């Protein structure tokens, strides 16, 4: 009879240990896959992320935004010409070189507006190069092997069924929390790319203001914001790499403390991912 109860106890222990092991695998080993996903997403340029959306945004820029930018540029050209005339005492002190500079300046402004979309795309080509170089470092440092928590699973065999049930519930809750974190990461990645598309769709308008001293801050801040979006991709990759490395270095001797650490690291990652855009803009003084 005692042997029967022992086998029943061992049976339920094995079930609980399998559940705990599955939860740990989902929590830890999925990080390897997520690192690859993050690297792939942040390393994509707007044209490679979704070709149909890119074509739509480009069409909006050429057919809707560019005509408006031309009107703004025309107004700026008129303002600049009036200022040139006013500065020369209503043309009494005419200086041919001033008009030559005006023509060159306006020609450059027109050229910038007509190629604004290409310039905005070039920013993310540079960002992709940075992310590509960082991806190799993050991928090799954050790799978690299945054997990293085998010793902890073996130690669970000495615990009672009641304790194992509690641990399985803990690991299950943390697994759900990290699944929510995974959804949050996906939302941030997709949201960043949509923000990039929005910025690029109106590229011609801020570029039209670069030729004017008073309005030029609009175009300057726009360019800073483009670079900030590119830099945000690098920060997202760095944050996720730090998270993966921290989880990898957790010493799984005490499963309760270890699980809480993994959950805490996940919450920190979520907060930092949400702040990645503001950090990038703060570094480049963009607003």
Query: Of 165, 161, 157, nearest to 9 (Cα)?
Result: 161
- Domain membership flag for residue 144: yes
Structural domain containing residue 219: 2-65+115-283
Cα–Cα distance between 96 and 90 in angstroms, integer?
14
User: Hey, what's the torsion of the CAs at 211, 213, 219, 222, to 10 degrees?
Assistant: 160
- Domain membership flag for residue 146: yes
DSSP one-letter code for 157: G
CB 61 within 8 A of CB 201: yes
Q: Which residue has the higher pLDDT, 181 or 92?
A: 181
- Domain membership flag for residue 122: yes
Q: Residues 221, 226, 229, CA angle at the centre, nearest 5°?
A: 125
CB 77 within 8 A of CB 212: no
Burial of 57 from C-beta contacts in 10 A (0-12 / 13-18 / 19+): buried
H or E stretch covering 124? helix 116-141
DSSP one-letter code for 29: I
For residue range 120-175, what is the model confidence (pLDDT) as tens digits?
A: 888 888 887 777 777 766 655 555 555 556 666 666 666 666 777 777 787 778 77
The position carrying tokens 């050209």 is 77
- Token pair of 11 as six digits: 């049976």
- Domain membership flag for residue 89: no
DSSP one-letter code for 54: H
Cα–Cα distance between 174 and 247 in angstroms, integer?
13
- Domain membership flag for residue 124: yes
Q: How many folded domains does the chain comprise?
A: 1
Give the pLDDT confidence score for residue 141 in this predicted structure.
52
CB 99 within 8 A of CB 82: no
Please measure the distance between the N-terminal and C-terminal CA atoms of the chain and give it in whole angstroms: 74
For residue range 55-97, what is the model confidence (pLDDT) as tens digits?
A: 898 888 888 888 888 888 888 878 777 776 666 655 555 666 6
H or E stretch covering 221? helix 216-248
- Token pair of 285 as six digits: 């003084």
- Domain membership flag for residue 237: yes
For residue range 187-231, what is the model confidence (pLDDT) as tens digits?
A: 888 888 898 899 888 888 888 888 777 777 888 888 888 888 888
- Domain membership flag for residue 92: no
- Domain membership flag for residue 71: no
- Token pair of 122 as six digits: 């070039």
Residue 259 region by backbone torsions, left for phi larger than 0, else alpha for psi between -120 and 50, else beta:
alpha
For 145, other C-beta atoms within 10 Å of its C-beta total 11
Query: Of 138, 210, 151, 143, nearest to 21 (Cα)?
Result: 151
User: Hey, what's the torsion of the CAs at 55, 56, 58, 61, to 10 degrees?
Assistant: 170
Q: What is the mean pLDDT of residues 253-270?
A: 78
Question: Can you give the pTM of this predicted structure?
Answer: 0.78
Give the pLDDT confidence score for residue 10 in this predicted structure.
66
């Amino acid at each position: 009879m005692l042997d029967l109860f022992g086998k029943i106890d061992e049976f339920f222990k094995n079930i609980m240990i399998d559940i705990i092991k599955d939860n740990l695998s989902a929590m830890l080993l999925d990080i390897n896959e997520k690192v690859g996903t993050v690297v792939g997403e942040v390393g994509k340029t707007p044209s490679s992320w979704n070709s149909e959306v890119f074509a739509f945004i480009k069409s909006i820029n050429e057919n809707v935004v560019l005509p408006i930018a031309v009107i703004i540029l025309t107004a700026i050209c008129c303002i600049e010409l009036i200022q040139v005339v006013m500065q020369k005492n209503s043309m009494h002190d005419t200086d041919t070189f001033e008009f030559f500079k005006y023509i060159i300046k306006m020609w450059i402004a027109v050229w910038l507006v007509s190629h604004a979309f290409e310039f905005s795309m070039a920013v993310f080509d540079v960002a992709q190069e940075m992310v590509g170089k960082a991806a190799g470092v993050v991928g090799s440092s954050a790799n978690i092997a299945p054997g990293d928590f085998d010793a902890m699973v073996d130690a669970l065999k000495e615990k009672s069924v009641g304790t194992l049930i509690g641990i399985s519930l803990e690991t299950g809750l943390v697994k759900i929390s990290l699944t929510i974190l995974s959804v949050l990461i996906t939302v941030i990645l997709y949201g960043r790319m949509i923000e990039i598309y929005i910025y690029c769709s109106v590229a011609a308008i801020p570029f039209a203001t670069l030729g004017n001293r008073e309005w030029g801050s609009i175009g300057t801040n726009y360019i800073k914001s483009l670079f900030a979006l590119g830099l945000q991709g690098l920060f997202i990759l760095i944050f996720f790499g730090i998270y993966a490395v921290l989880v990898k270095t957790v010493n799984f001797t005490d499963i309760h403390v270890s699980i809480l650490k993994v959950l805490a690291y996940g919450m920190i990652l979520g907060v930092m991912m949400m702040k990645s855009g503001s950090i990038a803009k703060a570094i480049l003084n963009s607003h």
